[in-house]
Amino acid sequence: MMKVVELFAGVGGFRLGLEANEDFEVLWGNQWEPSTKAQHAYNCYATRFENKGIHVNEDIAKVWHDVPEHDLLVGGFPCQDYSVARTLSNEKGIQGKKGVLFWEIMNIVNNRKPKFVLLENVDRLLKSPAKQRGRDFSIMLASFRDAGYTVEWRVINAADYGFSQRRRRIFIFAYLNESHFTSAQNGTESLEILYKNGFFAPIFNVHEAPLENKKRGQYTLPKDIVEVSDTFKAEYYNAGIMRNGQVYTEEVLPVTEASETLGEVVQKAYDNFGPAAESYYLKTDKVNKKGRTEFEELQYLKGPKKEERVSKATGHKYFYSEGGMAFPDNLDKPGRTMLTSEGTCNRSSHVIEDPYTRRLRYLTPVECELLNGFPMDWTNTGMPQRNRYFCMGNALVVGLVERMGKRILEINKEEEEKGGWVQLSLL
């Protein structure tokens, strides 16, 4: 049984994906929302996993030292500014920017040395910040290098691998250098790892692009992480590996699988809960301050635009351009990426033509849960409906983690058979 610690747990997407494989035991989970007194996500997590491990609703910066020994550390952490600097005395090495939660992850990694770390983030992490492309991700890679880990990453669009949402996220898998898996990888070319033998390739197949079309890069991370923070830039692509500070990255093309459609999700919700309530349908009897009905406002928001606007800050006039998007959403395709504003009158919300009433409406919270692969009504634990949408906008696609969990179990089984972790314990 692999021991797991889950950080930034939300309503438990990582845990659901892992536990779908059995052989995982989540010992300790942390979820804390600093901007509100009402801890709706934590309450949902604690309710759904009642009497299963320790649930902590405190700032991870204050409780990271309480994390128990574990094999696997997981979490979907915020995308922040990861810059570092020397301490004033220059005696304590480096210090990260205060409030940056990645440093709490590294505190746990350095203190507990889990066999594996699996993290999730938005794919723009690879390019941030705009003024020093790739710096933040390079700092992360250098941090894991200094902690004694090898790192693989892949940007995955869930819809490419059979799931019902076009949601792109980066997954980062780190594993200790003193392991059989690392030894096997060290004797393998980077291309072989990305396309065949690494962590991601066997479960998320990719085509090998023709040589002339490849986007790729090779870098050596500076040994001084402050130098990485101050001056280092790199172009990172959607797949890559870092070994002992040597980075190889390449743009890979997924071998796509037939995806579940938004229409199938809607049908599944209808089969279990019946027709959507009237409250989800677009209002036709009221107009906003601009004199538009809800339908007219959404038609404008989702439509193409090229209009003159005035900057509130400077008074400068400029032209704003924006392409149009499907309205209503196509039920024959996977859903678009859900955001935390789902279910409100804005450009990003899904609006569908209900297949039974032929009227336009928003997705229900249950349909949003299904788009992420959660059990139906998972967030119906007393939280307001607005927060149910918010939690799903922040969540990951559970089925992706289920696949990764199975792969981790395979690797760990081989480690135990080869005696890799026994060797590590004797060092």
Calpha distance 35→43 (Å, rounded)? 15
The pLDDT, as a whole number, for residue 81 is 79
Name the segment(s) of the chain with CATH classification 3.90.120: 262-394
Q: Catalytic residue positions?
A: 79
Does the 2-255+396-425 domain belong in CATH 3.40.50.2300? no
- Residue-averaged pLDDT of the chain: 92
Does the 262-394 domain belong in CATH 3.90.120? yes
Q: Residue 208: which pLDDT band, with cuts at 50, 70 and 90?
A: confident
DSSP letters, 86-136, are E-TTSSS-EEEPTT-THHHHHHHHHHH--SEEEEEEEGGGGG-STTSTTHH
Calpha distance 20→403 (Å, rounded)? 9
Picking from 153, 84, 157, the residue whose alpha carbon sits closest to that of residue 117 is 153
Name the segment(s) of the chain with CATH classification 3.40.50.150: 2-255+396-425
| Residue 3: its H or E element | strand 2-7
The pLDDT, as a whole number, for residue 427 is 39
- Helix segments in 208-364, DSSP class H: 225-231, 262-273, 294-302
Q: What percent of the chain has pLDDT over 70?
A: 94
Query: Would you say 355 and 271 are in contact if contact means Cβ atoms under 8 Å apart?
Result: no
pLDDT in tens, 3-39: 999 999 999 999 999 999 999 999 999 999 988 899 9
Would you give the distance in Å from CA 11 to the centre of its chain?
14
The pLDDT, as a whole number, for residue 320 is 87
- Helix segments in 303-360, DSSP class H: none
pLDDT in tens, 102-111: 999 999 999 9
